Structure 1
Amino acid sequence: MSAIDQADQADRADRADQRASTAAERVTLGEDVQSLRERIALASFIGLPFVAFLVAIPVAWGGWLGWSDVVITVVMYGLTLHGVTVGYHRLFTHKSFKPNRPVKVVLAVLGSMAIEGPVIRWVADHRKHHKFSDREGDPHSPWRYGTSLRGLTKGFLWAHMGWLFDAEQTPIDKYAPDLAKDQDLVRISRMFWMWVMVSILLPPVAGFLLTWSWQGAVTAFFWGTVVRIGLLHHVTWSINSICHVVGERPFRSRDRSGNVWWLAIPSGGESWHNLHHADPTSARHGVKRWQLDTSARIIWILEKLGWVREVRWPSPERLAAKAVPPQTG
């Protein structure tokens, strides 16, 4: 082969790699740089639920909270929360277990309905976080601006939600190439807008069907859509911010991840964050009997049903090896 032919072949290979990289980015509805449209949409999904929080108590006090609103909100919160914790996080990011195809698809859809971004984009961001946790390169470390009170305050706000507006996006082809090759996940990521609409419209539709009234639809939209999305987002973001600033650290990790007990129930067990960073592939984060971890319980049930396999449960020996030695004297 001549030098010209070799150069031409290399050029074609480079163009193919570029096309593959671009395709991987497109499946997440996001390029390397965040667009203005994406920032506006993101600000809307952050701002509107926050306003709803401010008016939630007087609305409930005024009688605009019925039994159907409570049921719809709890069910929608539980489904979308565990779509993120069991699906986005423990399955797609860390491969804590292997599911059958229906479980994989359902978890990806439910995670998308949490409106935290398409599954492939979310996974890429989180894998990068683990690679550089609390060091330079981490997308959302609260220690980004130093350890002073001013620096930590700024870093805490950045870790909680400021990082979402960073124009530079995590490259899919580097951090989630395996998911970009999964046609089920590619289709679900491309249809993210549809899962957002389902997540928004399902509560008011259910509210109308349960009460046969437009008021039931409106209150279900307020509680089951707006308040539920806001609560879920802030609980998820608290794992990035609160759990990397405070909490107990009984296991050795390369960062400042800690266990925050009072976030365990609303986070589905994700706030037992220290063990997670000490052993990221573990299917269970809360390893003591009293450490509630509903996400691990769901994985356990799926395993008993035969719908998932090769679950990476933490062994006593592995936990002992990662535990911080007791201080003496």
Structure 2
Amino acid sequence: MTAKTAKKNQTSESDWLKKDSNHFELKSPHDRLRLLGKFWPVNEPRAVILFVHGSGEHSGRYKHVAEFFNEHKVACVTYDLRGHGVSGGERGFTPSSDALFIDLECVVNFVRSNFSHAKPLVLYAHGTGCSICIAHILKRSDRLLDYQYLILSTPSICLKMRPTRTLFFIARAFSNLSPHLRLPIEGNMHNVYTNDEAMVTAYRTDPLVHDRWPARSLCVFLELGHLLETTPVQFSVPVLVQHGKDDTVTPFETIKKWKEERVKGDDVELKIWPDHMHELHNDVGRINVLNYALEWILKHLDSNQNQQQEH
């Protein structure tokens, strides 16, 4: 990180802490690294949503999403992944998948203890955040998270740019020899993930958005991607998968195939959105996407309440 970038991040962090009375700070049990987040409360919430953002971005980009759900009596919690936003760690660096899983467990347990209590908890993940949540089920089955519903927004599985054996070899080699080396991977600053030009501009000028792929991080996510593509996953909670038909990161056809061949569960819905790209919640027409997610949540809450009354 350059001195200029570090100063910019420090300034953003200082402003964030100063302006936000609902922020919280945790120490990851993995390595004591600092994780920062924010609670978006409402009076008598029907449920609580915990957002798990994607690679290269930060939780502040979900402000309008949290505010939307707040308007409908759903409380929200956001947090920055390690190496992202205002959380600690080298920008973009992920030491291992276990670090991500332990961080997520830490945040979920904190939310359960301090915010959601007896209220249903919804995990709302985007992009590589989906990979973290799904892979947690596969790799940490002995430490299942206490949530009741899962929303996967354009999961970064079965990518359009297929990783070759050569890329795997190079990533693993550098991951071991020089884990912090930034590899020449074209990423966030070069791609367009939304059809809203204002959102694209905001994204590319956001000081907390980064375009860093250290060798270790690339290796971690390549291996997670391979795991998810090749391993069946059993969901024990209702799941809503939303995907943009024009997504340039993960083609919707591959997500349909993944759902048909790898996904098991009693209640898993796939919703494909025509004329939408990777960031559904930032696209033109995002209100329809958010309303659909809200209605899905409320439908399941009502169904669960009716079942409890019958018993």
Greater fraction of residues in helix:
1
Greater fraction of residues in strand:
2
Pairwise TM-score range, normalised by the shorter structure: under 0.3
Structure with the bigger RCO (C-alpha within 8 Å, sep 6+) is: 1
User: TM-score normalised to the size of structure 1?
Assistant: 0.24
